[in-house]
Structure 1
């Protein structure tokens, strides 16, 4: 494990991000329903006949399967607003001298993932760029939804139940098992566990998220990417300007992943977690949300509540507060890159 003391890797802290947004955002069109802001990962534009949802995301903290991850991660961010992703643009930055056969393999991987999700590419840019040690891929994804289907992250309401869909930390465990297999082996993790973690988990939440929105079962959703389940919960609280209170023991974690990550000293709740989402749900629809998640093959459980109060996440365990966060944590996986 490598970590550079004092150097931040990952998303900017919100104190710095807010300053950047204030400098960049100078024009405001009335058709923009959701623009840049704490916790809101997607832009929403009112086109009259449909609500256009857009999102862009890079893959920077993985080396294997980055093409597939790039498509899935960007698509998830569109889907949790209630829109099915349909179009994408692709940015591929390659280190000088990166072998052409590997570029072609990367393109094939991207094409397969996009086909599985029904996404058409409408443009992009590819180049060999100086100063890179590994490829970086960014995907701009977009989709349309009906006005009633849109679910902004900032729409969590006091009294909502917070429901988790999918396991925490699966994506991070997968990346570590693929990119840092030797390190996990040195920690004594059995070969069969490494093989289990190295199989690609179910990382897309597109179908379940769109169904939850179209059925009108949720007030707010957020996918759990950088910062993991804890990061997603903080972002939901910030976007909604509410207090979110959760029971740490209720958060769903794959037992095999939890054991392996524990040997590395990694908190699975703060580890990148594509394939999981959180939703703020009216109490009367909780059972239907869990039933729909089960229909799609995802575990789901209530883990907390939304309350009036300052924008923050309160994490409890055994009835006592163990953590209080006002901005997302640094993702645990960032400690392995440096």
Structure 2
């Protein structure tokens, strides 16, 4: 068997051949099942649906529990579902300290308190099979049956929005876990302190629920592969292309500074905390998101085309490739 794959997500080709094409059992009450660009399952429960999503945290060490809860809950919220609770699988290396475990659970509990959800259970294990802690979270949410949202819902003519700024999670991880490297490259201490604070902006639950209620046609939590990866996945799920003006994509000053120092592309940096939304022009996404204290920026449109395209400041049109390597993994691989 060929195990020569890079760190990160499996390629779309491998997902299709090794996973999706081997899933043959179908139930009538499963409304959304595994597919490119879809991070959750949607299960019919009558007047409501249950939305379920699972996510690991593998590229961060600081505030691991807080990040794990929010990242998983972001996925169900991106389907228009209100998170209800989580289950956690904690795989811990031999020699792990009690203090670490206690802090991990405290951070998870604090994230749950912010979201108004519970830790429903899970599994803990100390194992020789991991060298660093691995946290895997399954989030469960609920939504009205007639108002859940999928990545496949984007339609030609829809406006594409991005909330807050891209690269939030990656910026916070780099500022926290690689502070000394960044200081040596000339990034100011004040910039790193502000960037580490981006962990507190990781949740997209309020703006996702507001956008779903307003009439968003599709949403996608911008995680691994960053904005470029999310854009490609929405295009793959919906079957439509898109055109995005690169200059319109919001990148915060701290993200610009850290990415410039490390020679990373902020548009391909893991971006939990930022949400990609599509909606018909008559839907007031900017106003809906503003009512919950977030900003949404129009960056382009869904197009009746075969592929997503980035329009550079020079006017050059750059086609997005099928597989986007996340800049955080590229940085970690080079250390």
Corresponding residue for residue 32 of structure 1: 30
What TM-score, normalized to structure 1?
A: 0.94
Please say if residues 56 and 135 of structure 2, whose CA atoms lie closer than 8 Å, have aligned partners that are also in contact.
Answer: yes
Corresponding residue for residue 251 of structure 2: 253
What is the deviation of 1:324? 1.2
Task: Tell me which of 292, 316, 327 is aligned to 2:322.
Answer: 327
Corresponding residue for residue 299 of structure 2: 303
Long gaps (5+) in structure 1: 1-5
Pairing 1:103-114 to 2, within 5 Å after superposition: 103-114=101-112
Pairing 1:174-323 to 2, within 5 Å after superposition: 174-199=172-197, 200-216=199-215, 218-285=216-283, 288-310=284-306, 312-318=307-313, 320-323=315-318
Please say if residues 164 and 294 of structure 2, whose CA atoms lie closer than 8 Å, have aligned partners that are also in contact.
Answer: yes
Deviations 1:147-182 (A, max 9, x none): 221111101011111111110011111000111111
What is the deviation of 1:187? 0.8
Please say if residues 171 and 201 of structure 1, whose CA atoms lie closer than 8 Å, have aligned partners that are also in contact.
Answer: no
Corresponding residue for residue 163 of structure 1: 161
What is the deviation of 1:120? 1.6
User: What is the rounded CA distance, in whole Å, between the counterparts of 2:46 and 2:96 in structure 1?
Assistant: 45
User: What is the rounded CA distance, in whole Å, between the counterparts of 1:234 and 1:22 in structure 2?
Assistant: 18
Pairing 1:109-120 to 2, within 5 Å after superposition: 109-120=107-118
What TM-score, normalized to structure 2?
A: 0.94
User: What is the rounded CA distance, in whole Å, between the counterparts of 2:267 and 2:46 in structure 1?
Assistant: 39
User: What is the rounded CA distance, in whole Å, between the counterparts of 2:89 and 2:76 in structure 1?
Assistant: 18
User: What is the rounded CA distance, in whole Å, between the counterparts of 2:243 and 2:323 in structure 1?
Assistant: 15
User: What is the rounded CA distance, in whole Å, between the counterparts of 2:18 and 2:112 in structure 1?
Assistant: 32
User: What is the rounded CA distance, in whole Å, between the counterparts of 2:275 and 2:248 in structure 1?
Assistant: 15
CA RMSD of aligned residues (A): 1.4
What is the deviation of 1:328? 3.9
What is the deviation of 1:295? 2.4
User: What is the rounded CA distance, in whole Å, between the counterparts of 2:318 and 2:93 in structure 1?
Assistant: 40
What is the deviation of 1:45? 1.0
Corresponding residue for residue 332 of structure 2: 337
Q: Any runs of at least 4 consecutive aligned residues in structure 1 with deviations exceeding 4 A, and if so which? A: none
Q: Using the TM superposition, name which of 320-329 and 75-84 deviates more.
A: 320-329
Long gaps (5+) in structure 2: none
Corresponding residue for residue 3 of structure 1: none
What is the deviation of 1:24? 4.0
User: What is the rounded CA distance, in whole Å, between the counterparts of 1:163 and 1:232 in structure 2?
Assistant: 12
Give the secondary structure class of the aligned counterpart of 2:95.
coil
Give the secondary structure class of the aligned counterpart of 1:334.
helix
Q: Using the TM superposition, name which of 288-297 and 140-149 deviates more.
A: 288-297
What is the deviation of 1:7? 5.5
User: What is the rounded CA distance, in whole Å, between the counterparts of 1:15 and 1:321 in structure 2?
Assistant: 28
Deviations 1:16-67 (A, max 9, x none): 1111223541201111111000000010111213111100000001111111
